[in-house]
Amino acid sequence: MYLRENPVLQRELLVNLRTYQSFILLAAYQVVLAVVVLAAWPSVERLDLSATPVSAKRLTNLFFLGQYLIASLIAPSFAAGTITGEKERLTYEMLLASPLRPGSIILGKLIASLSHLGVLVIGSLPIIVLCLPLGGISVYEVVAAYVGLIVSVILFGQISLFCSSYFSRTSNSLVVSYLAILPLVLGAITLWRFLESDGQLRLQIVLFIVPAFAIGAAILMGAWAAGRMLYPPDVGSEGKEVVDLETEAQNAIGLVIQPDQFPDRLFAPPTRTDLMADGTNPVYDKELRSEIFSQGTLMLRLVIQISMLLAIPLMGILLFAMPHLAAWFGVFVIVFNLLVGPVFLAGTVTGERERQTLDLLLTTQLTPKQILSGKFIVGFRIAMVLTSFLLWPLLLGTALNMGFYSNLLSVAAYFAIILSTGLVNALIAQTCSMLFNRTSVALLGTYVVLLFIYVVPPSLVGIFNLTRTRAPWVNSLVEPTQVTSPFSALFAVPLDAELSPRLDGTPANPGDWSIVIGYFAASAVICAICLSIMAYRGRRFADGVGG
């Protein structure tokens, strides 16, 4: 009953793969990859296969690393809700009461949740085969890259499923999954680029060491998750575990959340014991004080501890040892917010639809503006408070390193770019929540939009700069699009010669303030578009259409 006669696997595959969204997702993914390869394809009539151009090698590296990043971003969105979804739909205890073994349930959920991603990965193989005549990579490296990609997808899916077995809400499982996967992704990309000059060693590591580690870790986590399903500690009282905050605080290891004290009450306020004041937005008050963290403060504690553990060494390296790379710390903060922020906002409206409470909410005297603003402020507040745990190392590092004293405007630009990006992420997530009917689809749509406006423009600019085979008018059309990316804006912030000197004493990063200013203008336009869409959808909800 593990594979051939696994009803969980059969049901999940039929539900997931027979939807039209799966075909649209595959077609869009193939089109994007084809456009990237076509844009970077040399314009010369004859290719010199006797040489290995650097541009072709960088193109293939970008192709594989881009797929790896996309896989690490999508895998949790598919797998993190496999078990928590059963708990949210109140079918978890029915599943446990079935004659299925816990191991077959876990295996069926894992394979079904990664089926979409597996089809995308395998579907990209014909496109990368077209890149082989360009040189820069051999058939063996292609095989090794796909082996590493597939086993990494399995590991990321198993991590997400493991987190899903520990929490009661998909949002909590997603956040912790991303935080656990992020250091693995950074380490894998660093290792791949570090071993670029030693192809044989890289092949051996990717073909033997990485699969052994990934499959071994996946088996252990699967066995652990199956053990939790066999003897579930969170079943009883309708599947909801009763948590005593005082007992949990006494038994907690490390950080302890005190909701009645500052600054903990900023993101985990105490339960209300009095009546709301007149004029208070009840949606805001309810969302702020609801049990969004579930199981006490376990998820919040893990988020804070893991993020601080990653930020402290990066602060020492990027802000002290190599301050000319300070923009990379901003990239790390933005990636964290990009992963965490949409989780709290992509379900603001779809969550009401899934609980079948949206129509009931619309029949109240609250206006759509009050409902949406209350939900947005709470989600944005929580996302930015969690992001602020990564901002204080940036503030501390720039305050202790005297080299930044002559770059205060650049430091302020870093903070402004990060805050602006957090606002854009939140607005896009809530807009997708209003446009789609399911939280998982809204979350996936949010990440697709963010990747398209954040990653695609600078990637195309980098490809054109590498190949230098396109017409000048093509570059003139592509280069302005990078103003939508906060990553381009971070690297465009100038640093003086004291932090990033060349041998002749001139600054290594002269920067370009026009890109930074253009990013803020583009962010304002994106925010205006999102607000317009939400206002339009809000009026339709008020008129009884689309609810």
pLDDT in tens, 325-342: 888 888 889 988 888 888
Residue 235 in this model has a pLDDT that exceeds 70: no
Report the DSSP beta bridge partners of residue 507: 501
Averaged over 172-186, what is the pLDDT? 82
* pLDDT level of residue 158 (50, 70, 90 thresholds): very high
Q: Which residue from 146, 144, 147, 151 is spatially nearest to 203, judged by alpha carbons?
A: 144
Percent of the chain with pLDDT over 70: 73
Q: How confident is the model at residue 239 (pLDDT cuts 50, 70, 90)?
A: very low
When mean pLDDT is compared across 286-300, 310-324, 408-422, 480-494, the lowest value belongs to 286-300
Average the pLDDT over 381-395 and give the result.
84
Most confident among 97-111, 269-283, 351-365, 513-527 (mean pLDDT): 513-527
Higher pLDDT, 331 or 49: 331
- What pLDDT score does 293 carry? 46
- CA gap 460, 122 in Å, rounded: 23
DSSP 163-180: HHTT-SSHHHHHHHHHHH
What tokens were used for 155?
A: 């590991």
Amino acid identity at 92: Y
313, pLDDT greater than 90: no
Question: Measured on CA atoms in the order 149, 152, 158, 163, is the torsion positive or negative?
Answer: negative
**For the ranges 146-155, 396-405, 473-482, the one whose mean pLDDT is highest:** 146-155
Looking at residue 428, its pLDDT comes to: 95
Q: Mean of the pLDDT values across residues 353-359?
A: 79
Select the more confidently predicted residue: 375 or 22.
375
| Residue 238: per-residue pLDDT | 46
Question: Does the structure show a pLDDT above 70 at 236?
Answer: no
pLDDT category at 19 given cuts 50, 70, 90 is: low
* Residue that wins the pLDDT comparison between 328 and 431: 431
Model confidence at 108, pLDDT cuts 50, 70, 90, reads confident
Contact (CB, 8 A) for 465 and 370: no
Read off the pLDDT of each residue in 113-134 and give the average, rounded to a whole number: 78
344 with 379: CB under 8 angstroms?
yes
What one-character DSSP code corresponds to residue 45?
A: S
Exposed e or buried b for every residue in 135-151, given b needs 16+ CB within 10 A?
Answer: bbbeeebbebbbbbbbb
Mean pLDDT of the chain: 77
Tokens representing 456 are: 């695609």
Upper half-sphere CA count for residue 539 (Cβ side, 13 Å): 5
| Alpha-carbon torsion, ordered 364, 366, 367, 370, to 10 deg | -140
Mean pLDDT of all residues in 489-509: 67
Better-predicted residue by pLDDT, 12 or 323? 323
HSE, side-chain direction, 13 A CA sphere, residue 45? 0
Whether 319 shows a pLDDT value over 90: the answer reads no
Does position 115 have pLDDT exceeding 70, yes or no?
Answer: yes
pLDDT-based confidence at 129, cuts 50/70/90?
confident
Q: Which of 486 and 308 is assigned the larger pLDDT?
A: 486
User: Hey, which of 63-72, 133-142, 300-309 has the most confident mean pLDDT?
Assistant: 63-72
Q: Angle 338-108-222 (CA atoms, 0-180°, nearest 5)?
A: 70
- In what helix (H) or strand (E) does residue 534 lie, and over which residues does it extend? helix 513-542
- pLDDT of res. 526: 95
User: What span, in angstroms and rounded, lies between the C-alpha atoms of 316 and 443?
Assistant: 33
Confidence at residue 242, expressed as pLDDT on a 0 to 100 scale: 46
Peptide bond into 232 cis (omega under 30): no
Which of 11-25, 165-179, 400-414 is predicted with the least confidence, judged by mean pLDDT? 11-25
Q: Which of 75-79, 183-187, 486-490 has the highest mean pLDDT?
A: 486-490
What's phi and psi for 108, nearest 5 deg? -65, -45
Please check the confidence at residue 449 and state whether its pLDDT lies above 70: yes
More confidently predicted of 5 and 166: 166
Q: What is the mean pLDDT of residues 525-539?
A: 91
Residue 276 DSSP class: P
SS3 501: strand
Backbone φ and ψ for 99, nearest 5 degrees, come out as -75, 5
Q: Would you say residue 219 has pLDDT above 80?
A: yes
Show Cβ contacts of residue 75 under 8 Å, excluding neighbours closer than 6 positions. 114, 117, 153, 156, 157, 160, 181
Preceding amide of 263 cis, omega within 30: yes
d(CA 74, CA 146): 17
User: What is residue 464's predicted lDDT score, i.e. its pLDDT?
Assistant: 62
Q: Is 472 exposed, middle or buried (0-12, 13-18, 19+ CB in 10 A)?
A: exposed
What is the band of 184 on the pLDDT scale with cuts at 50, 70, 90?
A: confident
Task: Copy the structure tokens of residue 290.
Answer: 């609801």
- Cβ proximity of 404 and 325 under 8 Å: no
What confidence score (pLDDT) does residue 533 get?
A: 93
The amino acid sitting at 362 is L
Reduced to 3 states (helix: H, G, I; strand: E, B; else coil), residue 363 is coil
For the chain, percent of residues with pLDDT exceeding 90: 11
Indicate if the pLDDT at residue 425 is higher than 90: yes
Distance CA 452, CA 474 (A): 19
Distance CA 138, CA 135 (A): 7
In this prediction, residue 263 carries a pLDDT of 61
Query: What value does the mean pLDDT take over residues 343-350?
Result: 85
